[in-house]
Amino acid sequence: MKIYTRTGDEGDTGLFGGGRVPKSHIRVEAYGAVDELNAALGLSVEAIADEEIREWLGRIQQDLFSVGASLATPGAEDGSARGAIPPIPVRRIQEMEGWIDLATEETPGLRGFIIPGGTRGAASLHLARTICRRAERAVVRLNHEERSDPNVVKYLNRLSDLLFALARLENCREGVPDVFWDRHGA
């Protein structure tokens, strides 16, 4: 199988289930941001020292392929074009809430805004969190123009919260304190 197809040379791309749209289409922006998020999480997995966090992120990376496939398939939200596309793992939303609770119990209380950073792993999770928020915004824009599975926004919203909590947990488990924003200047 060849990697290049030349079918996108004119600036459009194919969607799952058929049809073509411009590469600038909001649907492509949405699933592209999810793809970028997944790549950022791949870097995070390699930078994180904690095995438990790495395992959780591995599950999420698998989920994000289902999220991206759903976004790339018009009609997937009502089942009309679902086909072989795996469902959005809605059960993971509750599981992520449990992971957030565990991380919050283990980390010191929040006393202000946190500057992204700390360990390399924590910093990479903060970056992934911002990409996740961008993906969420793109999906919300998509939902204003076309329909998509409403669970995608819920999933991404919870995931961004989780990434924040995991960045703090990674720092805590590595003995690196969070850096808080000094609103009065340094």
**In this structure, what is the dihedral angle of CA atoms 36, 76, 28, 157, given to the nearest 10 degrees?**
-40
Complete domains list, the chain, with CATH: 19-109+118-177 (1.20.1200.10)
pLDDT for residue 81: 52
Task: Report the distance separating Cα 120 and Cα 48, nearest Å.
Answer: 7
Radius of gyration of the chain (CA): 18
Q: Minimal CA–CA distance to 91: which of 70, 68, 60, 137?
A: 60
**Running DSSP on this structure, what letter comes out for residue 119?**
S
Cα–Cα nearest to 17, from 66, 95, 74: 74
CA angle 4, 63, 109 (to 5 degrees): 130
Question: In terms of pTM, does the model score above 0.85?
Answer: yes
pLDDT at 145 over 70: yes
Q: How many CA atoms lie within 13 A of 57 on its CB side?
A: 31
pLDDT tens-place string over residues 34-63:
999 999 999 999 999 999 999 999 999 999
Higher pLDDT, 112 or 99: 99
Span 98-125, average pLDDT: 95
